[in-house]
Amino acid sequence: MEVFNKMNERFPCRKKVLKTLTSLIGHSEEMLPAAIHIYGHTGTGKTTLLKNFLNGTARHNRNKLNYAFVNCVESYTLRILFENILEYINKESADDVKTENLKDFLEQLRHLQSQPEAQYIIVLDNAERLRDMDANVLPSLLRLQQLSGLNICVVLVSQLPLEKFYCKTSIDDPITLYFAQYTKTETLEILSADFKNAQKLMVALLKHKKPENLTTKLQIVETVTREFFNNYLNIFLGVFYKACRDLSELKITARKCFTFYMEPILDGTVSMTDVSRLWRCIAGPLRTALTQVYIRSGQAEVRNDFLYILNKLKILNLQTPAENNDKEILKIAQSLELPYYGKYLLIAAFIASYNSSKDDKRLFVKNHGKRRKRLQNVNANAKVTEKLNTYIGPKSFSVDRLLAIFYAILEEKVGLTCNLLSQISTLVNLKLLSFVSGENVMDGTSRLQCTVGLDFVICISQVVGFNVRQYLSDFN
């Protein structure tokens, strides 16, 4: 009960889930359930709550509870998975742990039967990755209590319901706990608890910038009340709640936008009580921040570094010889820490800018039919250098065409998510792409064009092992 009360103070919006967890694994004298499945969308507090709950329960039960917290993304093979679990559970012989298969893993667990009062909990985060392993792994883990003879419970934490695991077991299905997305009221309550951190961030930024009247501005920040902060959060969530439900992302963006909200107050142009003028001042920054959700590179320091690199590229193109230019471009392109899919999106954007949409079927569809060689086509293909698309300049393209080419050149299957779309905004933010019309990637109506040259894209494609020339109409 003591653990429940402390956790309830820290996670007030998860009282029902905490009560269920306490009844299932919060008592040292009871038998643990065989398996528990916890699922819900990302950013709903599954991992954080479970870690804190198990830490508190282990201390309360005087270390009779041993638990392993393993991320299945990192444990991508059976050997790594089983050895990581045993290192947490069997700490005395952690150095001697060697398991090649499920049989070795069960034998290691049976050696722990000398401690009858001990409880063991195995938490497998990102458990949907278990579907990529051998077919017998997931059913065996769900029956681990029966196979090992221990008071052991396996907790699967994932974003998917159990029906998506395609697993049939001979025992009852595991107990299921669903973490629903936070409501707007709950999100406001959680973000409101971040008031002190937002205030400290404002003080740190002011001390770093050292503006005029620093003392006066620090005093203004100290006079900010929680009620004023909650009014700001109501405005903030009115814009962001429909677009983003990820709590950690909302916290980061809310702190960042709060600095913009405070700027007119610190300058003395708007008072704290003038809500309508404050809204007019914050509306623009909020719209800009909305297009940068999930983009870590939106921070000023990272953006300035990339702008410096791109400015250096322009200088190199004007002032250095061709050979040195190629070497420098190769060096800079390889130093760009773009995400894996971001590199493919940049390649797809270049192809879309320098290819005609009429050539897409011929270049990306295998069975596109025979192409008749007419005299006008032969003459059109006999281009001089000045008429090549790569020398004429980039053309605009739609987001739909960009994504179609991206999926055509990418060998693996990737779902269309907000994270993927946000990487297009990242490329725009880094000046690698630019908007021609519209400035919202999410609605799909905007048109873009690629701003980098052929040499630069060839360097990026070499990093991921892709032959971009094969998909350019100038070379085919």
Residues 6+ apart with CB under 8 A from 258: 198, 201, 202, 229, 232
339 or 307, greater pLDDT: 339
Give the strand order in the sheet containing 433-437.
397-398, 447-450, 433-437
Average pLDDT of the residues in 381-403:
68
CA–CA gap between residue 91 and residue 105 (Å, rounded): 15
Half-sphere exposure (Cβ direction) of 5: Cα atoms closer than 13 Å: 3
> Which amino acid does the sequence have at 76?
Y
Under the banding of pLDDT at 50, 70 and 90, the label for residue 476 is low
Q: Which domains does the chain have, with CATH numbers?
A: 2-181 (3.40.50.300), 185-290 (no CATH), 319-475 (no CATH)
Contact 221, 262 (CB under 8 A): yes
Query: Which alpha helices (H) appear in 162-271, and where do they start and end?
Result: 184-192, 195-209, 214-222, 226-240, 247-267
First to last CA, the chain: 72
388 or 384, greater pLDDT: 388
Please give the structure tokens belonging to residue 82: 């089983």
Contact 425, 287 (CB under 8 A): no
> Which amino acid does the sequence have at 430?
L
Average pLDDT of the residues in 39-56:
88
Contact 4, 27 (CB under 8 A): no
Is the pLDDT reported for residue 232 higher than 90? yes
In the chain, the percentage of residues whose pLDDT exceeds 70 is 78
CA–CA gap between residue 356 and residue 274 (Å, rounded): 53
Asked whether the CA dihedral 416, 418, 419, 424 is positive or negative, the reply is: positive
∠ CA 402-416-287, nearest 5°, is 80
β-pairing, 433-437 vs 447-450, is antiparallel
pTM reported for the whole predicted model: 0.59
Closest by Cα among 307, 306, 301, 304 to 208: 301
> Which amino acid does the sequence have at 291?
T
Tens-place pLDDT, residues 91-133:
655 556 678 888 888 888 888 776 667 889 999 999 988 888 8
Average pLDDT of the residues in 317-341:
56
Is the pLDDT reported for residue 33 higher than 80? yes
What is the pLDDT at residue 123?
Answer: 94
In the chain, the percentage of residues whose pLDDT exceeds 90 is 15
Tens-place pLDDT, residues 165-179:
766 554 567 899 999
Please give the structure tokens belonging to residue 130: 């278990």
What is the pLDDT at residue 368?
Answer: 47
CA–CA gap between residue 429 and residue 423 (Å, rounded): 9
What is the pLDDT at residue 36?
Answer: 94
For the chain, give me the number of helices (H) and strands (E)? 22, 8
Average pLDDT of the residues in 428-446:
80
Is the pLDDT reported for residue 335 higher than 70? no
Query: Using only C-alpha atoms, what is the Rg of the chain?
Result: 28
What is the pLDDT at residue 248?
Answer: 82
Is the pLDDT reported for residue 474 higher than 90? no
Tens-place pLDDT, residues 287-316:
888 876 765 443 433 334 344 444 444 433
**Residue 178 bridge partners (DSSP):** 39
Closest by Cα among 419, 424, 430, 418 to 403: 424
How many residues does this entry show for the chain?
Answer: 476
Asked whether the CA dihedral 29, 30, 33, 38 is positive or negative, the reply is: negative
What is the pLDDT at residue 43?
Answer: 80
Contact 450, 347 (CB under 8 A): no
Lowest-confidence segment of 263-267, 374-378, 465-469 by average pLDDT: 374-378
What is the pLDDT at residue 314?
Answer: 42
Contact 397, 447 (CB under 8 A): yes
Contact 325, 316 (CB under 8 A): yes
